[in-house]
Structure 1
């Protein structure tokens, strides 16, 4: 759909603006999933995401056509930052419309790159509408994904991957509006026609998934997701044309698997990925993608702009999913030594006690009883089962 020469040209034009991000092999993940797993680390890109590629190419190649008022874009965060930085580097003013729920940290990052932030809309679609209205007053609109220049710029990721790993068998790519996957696919399928390209989308907003199944663009209802970067209710028109031609499959992942993927990347590779960037790994965790031994699979970790206040909640959700946290709620006899005996049992089972809540004043609880709630650090689901069995055998009954 997009000539490979155009993507090579884009790579040359933006090479001084973007970082050639590393493609790293993960022995641990390869062992866990039974294939050779590689990670394309776009979370290390300028602005923390791949979006700077398309934005920079668009602005640098269309600079003479941009209105005197500058550019305007709509985004929940990553496209916002990419456009703001690319415009500032080119000496152009930028206005970014962000949905009202956009995180404060992403608003502040966009401002720091020189963009003017306007909050409008409860969805990306509503923000896009507002951005188009602003464009009518003398600014050049830059679409986050449904634009050939944007798609071409994102395609440089595919070039880099296939230059570093010519015999890659499969790419797992986050998909929302479709800019990243359509650009990457155009490059990858040209350089390696046999490569499989799988899109991964959050189940809370399955727009590309539904469109792919039905064969036409579908507008879907969505729910707030920790993968907010791909929370797009409708896939782009240009993007979908490429998706139909080049994409082999699209799969869905649940919130709990996305959280588990963020945690695995953080613990095993010391990589901080945002929800959208972690969905390729989530697709391996929930077995949504069938893989074969000795195949080379590349996960595109598309961004790392996760909100600091959200990190703790995501980690805890991931720990619960992986059996690394356990909550125990019990009634104990309110006599000396009861709590000590319980804690000794827990210690003997090699569980680490993180929090204890102890309350004698629970409504409808017998006067000679006390309520205890424990949060334990555990090694996995087998360890949790061992603890629960020991508690039951010792006469402790969960509330």
Structure 2
């Protein structure tokens, strides 16, 4: 039977050079260049990001969209099939590099901002299909999801680093993000069209080979509700909620939008009846500029209290992070963090942008970009075994995660 959905591009291969920590990335659909984006922008558009210089400064040179414009609504089966295939191909790539079979995994964690649930079918069927295709038993508690928007992958990674202290048998883990995001993007909204992408990434690792110096996930409600989605997630029944781990800080009102359950972590996001995402871009950008720098600054201050920077080995000067947009957001966040660190006499922290690298060239596909950044910095040789670095992510809603770690792999 011919595969009639979009072809998967896991051509992006395994991109890490540190054995024992493979990362694979991929995309599907049609690659849209900046020149092609500019052709779609109305002549009278006044939005700064949509001018040629602004588009270039966004940091994205290519993003992937369905080859035939369509929405998720009305095409749920097609999109779900693509999500399953993308997940299986990308996870298979890291399992092969990790010399591991699916059935030997201790944990598979799946993240997405736009779950590919089909009306009338069981919720999360796509997760079961991915797991079963890889030979992973779905009902034994070792498949979890993180429904935390763009913050899912990093929050899951930090959770496992804390969990392994109590559960030393947790050794073989894969975190995979599969994001059909541009099936939810209005092609007439040029900002969304230029930034978001179909995409997938996967990371295989042993948490015993990651040194965690300190880390936190903060749940900070966005009271302005600047993001709505037609296909999103809500909280599970209250009776299924588990205690929130100690390394989470839940701000006022956060208990209404965040929950931990046996099958994974949840964030409640607003829903829209529109077939498209609704996002107030400037409001979201301002929100992240306010909430992210204090979290990272505090985690760095705590780190240097324990590990003074007068010893060169203790200096943390590099951050791998979620990649939502370069100049307008990442650079602005970095500037605020470094202003605060400099006042304290601490070294500055550099947030690297990787999405325009020739070997990446993808748009924002939610929490999967954090894994791309991590893998690409390893690929560049900027993260090596034993080097201490910061790993930070943040997502709509909002969960902000920041940690200082080092990889200890052969």
Q: TM-score, normalised by structure 1?
A: 0.29
Work out which of the two has the higher radius of gyration on C-alpha atoms and give 1 or 2: 1
Q: TM-score, normalised by structure 2?
A: 0.28
Which one has more relative contact order, counting CA pairs under 8 Å at least 6 apart? 2
| Greater helix share, structure number | 1
